[in-house]
Structure 1
Amino acid sequence: MSKPTTSAPSQRMLRVGEQVRAALTQVLQRDEVRDPLIETTVISISEVRMSPDLKIATAYVAPLGVADHVEIIEALNRNAKYIRGRLTPQLRQMKYMPEVRFRDDTSFDNYKKIDEILKSPEVVRDLKHEDGPNDKNGA
């Protein structure tokens, strides 16, 4: 019988992703990457997703205080091989050192859009309408 396929990450993928995220955070905090854009920007790593074979790590980053994230993401990807080498001492237990790819984390923008929608006059009006007299009767 074949294994069912799911899109959810395994516990191992989640655990290794968190280890890689912590190691990446340390490398970036110590200013080990000699790139002016990276050195002068505070970078938050919100999540690292591992491929099923643990050979590719996709890091979702949010440069703080910078309007245009594209340049920072490009700089991180330009230095990805160097960063991968700096991760090696911290991730000795891994059989293969994963290739690191950096992507812009847009989740904060999505949360902001949802928040704006929930605070819009139309939604507020509809919520007030639902709290009307019909709700008192249990309907």
Structure 2
Amino acid sequence: MTAAQKLKLVVNYVNLSTLAGFLIALIGRAKLSRGPRGLYYANGYRLGFPVAGAFTVGNVLLTKNDRAYLDARPVLVRHEERHSWQYFCLIGLPMLPLYVVAVAWSWARTGCPASRNPFERLAGLKDGNYTEHPPQPFGRTLQQTFSRKR
């Protein structure tokens, strides 16, 4: 682990984001293990929210999949590691409401929660297995959303 990664590990403990990640893993009945570069893996996460193949809170990378899934996807792990740096930069838990606002903004602009989400863009859309969608009129976003739910 580099000095910067050690600093991020310590700061994300102090800002409570990693502890929040551990709590979410506990509630989701995930199995914790050490990952690379100061990350922790929480595999077998059982809650259906958020709807994502993997997500990160502090230095904790949570997924419903097993460890082999993450070990086989180093690009995805790097994407999630970038999110752990975002917690570091935003002093921890303020990341969560800011991320929700970013999801809403992206959805309103494109009909996709990631395409115009600055957190996902900075972490690398492609690395997170996201497809970029172009901006569209808000009326079209509403129409697509409600036509999907029928």
Whether these two folds match at TM > 0.5 is no
* TMscore range, shorter length: under 0.3
Tell me which protein shows more strand as a share of its residues.
1
Q: Which structure is richer in relative contact order (CA contacts within 8 A, separation 6 or more)?
A: 1
Instruction: Give me the TM-score of the superposition, normalised by structure 1.
Output: 0.26
Instruction: Give me the TM-score of the superposition, normalised by structure 2.
Output: 0.25
